[in-house]
Amino acid sequence: MFDLFSGLDAWVVISLALALIFVLSFEFINGFHDTANAVATVIYTKAMPPHVAVVFSGIFNFLGVLLGGVGVAYAIVHLLPVELLINVNTAYGLVMVFSLLGAAIAWNLGTWYFGIPASSSHTLIGSILGVGLANALIADISLAEGVNWQKAIDIGLSLLLSPLAGFTVAALILLVLKRMWGGSKMHESPETRMEVKGKKKPPFWNRVVLIASAMGVSFVHGSNDGQKGIGLIMLVLIGIVPAKFVLDLNSTTYQIERTRDAAVHLSQFYERNHDTLSEYLALGKNGRSELPKKFRCDVQLTEPTISALLTALEGVTDYRQMPIEQRTQVRRYLLCLDDTAKKVSKLKELPKREKADLDKLRKDLTATTEYAPLWVIFAVALALGIGTMVGWKRVVLTVGEKIGRTGMTYAQGMSAQITASIAIGLANIYSLPVSTTHVLSSGVAGTMVANKSGLQLGTVRNILLAWLFTLPATIALSAGLFWLGVKLFV
């Protein structure tokens, strides 16, 4: 890890260290900001003592980050337009990272202080969008090109639909439990169980399910939210010390050959679909045999970009053999080819089987650019895990007692947690960032409605307002910080 500071100017070392501290601080805050959502029901139902629940939740968050992969990490990174990702320099990279993290941390701390279960995912995404839009205004490019809107729409839909799914599915699970085991002890609340039977803990099997589902929520929270921190650190490293991180320098000869083969097969794919794609990609057009001196992503430069990539990778068995500028160029080629392939896969004219083949090619094409060193994953896992053990009380009270008009029953806790763990787990499979906060809070609300307990409208209103204002507030704040930073330091 520490060799990344070698050979750098003192100001770059200080800036890099501060940027890494900022990212890890965000993940630490994310830990205690979102912890309550993983442990609220298990604490409120007294299935586990608070200090034990929080420690175990921290451990499972840690494991979730370590084992979760990097799919969600790069889904977050690619919210930024590919032009910004391939042309970012040290000063721009610093301003970009400090702006979006400053906005995200400020909003997270504010909502945590007031005990509002706001979404760290929403916060981070809003901050990234703000930077992209501000960059478009500063660079005098259209707002349509300032953000990867297709990725933003995909993520926006996942953030919108996941709470609705959480509300509905949790309510349905509770109704099934009531229908099949209507007279069971699982439909007691901790208060009534204590008053009537003098017992503090839930029935044995209910307790097992509550604990298992809470740890499941913690694990999938780590594997989803932790990846956002991984993506941010990679953004920092690629922007500030590109020589060491634009490509995975630990790639094996086989992995490099897979990348080269993917480019060859991509060229064959476009040739196979020449009739469908020739106009869109300008295939075989005269005057398109060479790239312009100032490289840019353009779908009509696909053929020369593939040719340039194959030339750059010819005979390469170790990325360390390549000059620094050549590594940067290879990354640019790969990102642009992947971006074009993604656009091509959205074309209605392309058959479904060909789209599936293209998706497989994209995975091989980006195998050595979409990666994270082990120390990055471990650092984020540690920050999120430790943060999970701090500051959980404020939001636990909101989730446990202030969403519904009555106390939560064991069945309600199980329904909400099972729903959250499944929903977030599925999102991880499809590399979609979702909000643990929103899914679990909406699940609790759904069980309250299904149980005919009613909702506390004041709390629901505050949660909805935070949900509505998080994106515009963080977009405005990060855009303002980015504009100010560019004017002062770039």
Residues 238-297 pLDDT 10s? 877 877 888 999 999 999 999 999 999 999 999 999 888 988 888 876 445 577 777 778
Question: Cα 25 vs. chain centroid, distance in angstroms?
Answer: 16
Q: Render pLDDT for 152-161 as a digit per residue (tens, 0 to 9).
A: 787 778 777 8
Q: Please tell me the predicted confidence (pLDDT) of residue 262.
A: 95
Question: Of 57, 55, 39, 37, which Cα lies nearest the Cα of 47?
Answer: 39
Tokens of 188: 């007691």
> Which H, E and C letters describe the chain, residue by residue?
CHHHHCCCCHHHHHHHHHHHHHHHHHHHHHHHHHHHHHHHHHHHCCCCCHHHHHHHHHHHHHHHHHHCCCHHHHHHHCCCCHHHHHHCCHHHHHHHHHHHHHHHHHHHHHHHHCCCCCCHHHHHHHHHHHHHHHHHHHCCCCHHHHCCHHHHHHHHHHHHHHHHHHHHHHHHHHHHHHHHCCCCHHHCCHHHHHHHHCCCCCCHHHHHHHHHHHHHHHHHHHHHHHHHHHHHHHHHHHHHCHHHHCCCCCCCHHHHHHHHHHHHHHHHHHHHCHHHHHHHHCCCCCCCCCCCCCCCCCHHHHHHHHHHHHHHHCCCCCHHHCCHHHHHHHHHHHHHHHHHHHHHHCCCCCCHHHHHHHHHHHHHHCCCCCCCCHHHHHHHHHHHHHHHCCCCHHHHHHHHHHCECCCCCHHHHHHHHHHHHHHHHHHHHCCCCCCHHHHHHHHHHHHHHHCCCCECHHHHHHHHHHHHHHHHHHHHHHHHHHHHHHHHHC
Residue 361 pLDDT > 50: yes
% of the chain exceeding 90 in pLDDT:
25
Higher pLDDT, 473 or 407: 473
What angle separates helix 120-138 from helix 457-489, to the nearest 10 degrees?
Answer: 30
Question: Of 101, 115, 119, 134, which Cα lies nearest the Cα of 26?
Answer: 101
Task: Name the average pLDDT for the chain.
Answer: 84
Q: Render pLDDT for 2-32 as a digit per residue (tens, 0 to 9).
A: 566 676 778 778 888 888 998 898 888 877 7
Tokens of 408: 């939560």
**160-169, 207-216, 449-458, 475-484, range with the lowest pLDDT:** 449-458
Q: Please tell me the predicted confidence (pLDDT) of residue 401.
A: 62
Spatial contact of 42 and 211, defined as CB atoms under 8 Å apart: yes
Please report, for residues 112, 133, 207, 222, 369, the alpha-carbon distance to residue 99 in angstroms, rounded to integers and kept in the order given.
20, 13, 44, 24, 24
Kindly compute the dihedral angle of the four CA atoms of residues 483, 160, 25, 369, in this order, to the nearest 10 degrees. -80
Q: Please tell me the predicted confidence (pLDDT) of residue 400.
A: 60
Tokens of 147: 């953000």
Q: Render pLDDT for 404-434 as a digit per residue (tens, 0 to 9).
A: 677 788 898 899 999 999 998 888 888 777 8
Q: Please tell me the predicted confidence (pLDDT) of residue 396.
A: 64
Residue 204 pLDDT > 90: no
Q: Please tell me the predicted confidence (pLDDT) of residue 257.
A: 95
Question: Of 466, 486, 485, 476, which Cα lies nearest the Cα of 122?
Answer: 466
Residue 478 pLDDT > 60: yes
Q: Please tell me the predicted confidence (pLDDT) of residue 393.
A: 65
Q: Render pLDDT for 213-232 as a digit per residue (tens, 0 to 9).
A: 989 999 998 888 888 889 88
Q: Please tell me the predicted confidence (pLDDT) of residue 392.
A: 63
Spatial contact of 124 and 80, defined as CB atoms under 8 Å apart: no
Confidence of residue 171 (pLDDT cuts 50, 70, 90): very high
The full set of domain ranges for the chain reads 2-244+372-489, 247-365
Residue 370 pLDDT > 60: yes
Distance (Å, rounded) from C-alpha 99 to C-alpha 227? Answer: 19
Q: Please tell me the predicted confidence (pLDDT) of residue 119.
A: 75
Name the burial class of residue 9, with classes exposed (0-12), middle (13-18) and buried (19+) by CB atoms within 10 angstroms of its CB: exposed
Residue 395 pLDDT > 70: no
Q: Render pLDDT for 31-89 as a digit per residue (tens, 0 to 9).
A: 776 666 778 788 878 888 888 888 898 899 899 998 888 888 888 787 777 777 776 66
Q: What is the mean pLDDT of residues 302-313?
A: 92
Q: Please tell me the predicted confidence (pLDDT) of residue 453.
A: 77
Please report, for residues 96, 136, 248, the alpha-carbon distance to residue 476 in angstroms, rounded to integers and kept in the order given.
14, 14, 34
Q: Render pLDDT for 104-153 as a digit per residue (tens, 0 to 9).
A: 889 888 877 776 666 777 888 889 889 989 988 887 787 777 777 877 78
> What is the identity of the amino acid at 401?
E
Spatial contact of 131 and 477, defined as CB atoms under 8 Å apart: no
Please report, for residues 32, 85, 424, 433, 459, the alpha-carbon distance to residue 119 in angstroms, rounded to integers and kept in the order given.
12, 25, 14, 11, 15
pTM for this predicted structure: 0.82
